[in-house]
């Protein structure tokens, strides 16, 4: 049924095998989010999405650390190639400071909200913060 599906959200960076150094001042998390049922003019850059936000180590209701709201409307070839040219600008970016977190294994929780369905979907990704420059 049109408009009843969950939005699609994907984390492209970091990858699960990537190490993020504790002394990295700013690290950019990258991905894309879209609602396949979006029409022209709906959501950021016709993606159907109006909000992407991220948390570290737990979901928000379980005390996750809020990393921020992502900037929307970035060019993303993966989204355009997989879902069509309408979604070529469905990319999002969020910069966070690894220096604020302890070294070790963490889990990233990224939520995308669709203005089409009113639904939110979640993507998770493990990331490893390691000591060093």
Q: Apex CA 20: angle with CA 31 and CA 96, to 5°?
A: 55
Q: How high is the pLDDT of residue 31?
A: 98
Summarised one tens digit per residue, pLDDT across range 42-96 is 999 999 999 999 999 999 999 999 999 999 999 999 999 999 999 999 999 999 9
- Tell me the pTM: 0.93
Dump the DSSP string for 37-83. T--TTSSGGGSSEEEEEEEESS-GGGTPEEEEEPEEEE--HHHHHHH
């Amino acid at each position: 049924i049109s408009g009843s599906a969950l939005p699609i959200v994907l984390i492209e960076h970091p990858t699960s095998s990537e190490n993020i150094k504790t002394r990295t001042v700013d690290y950019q998390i990258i991905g894309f989010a879209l609602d396949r049922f979006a029409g022209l003019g709906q959501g950021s850059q016709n993606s159907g999405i109006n909000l992407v936000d991220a948390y570290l180590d737990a979901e928000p209701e379980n005390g996750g650390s809020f990393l921020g709201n992502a900037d929307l409307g970035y060019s993303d070839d993966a989204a355009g190639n997989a879902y069509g040219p309408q979604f070529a600008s469905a990319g999002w970016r969020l910069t966070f400071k690894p220096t604020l977190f302890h070294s070790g294994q963490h889990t990233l929780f990224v939520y995308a909200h669709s203005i089409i369905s009113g639904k939110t979907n979640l993507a998770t990704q493990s990331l490893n913060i390691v000591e060093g420059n």
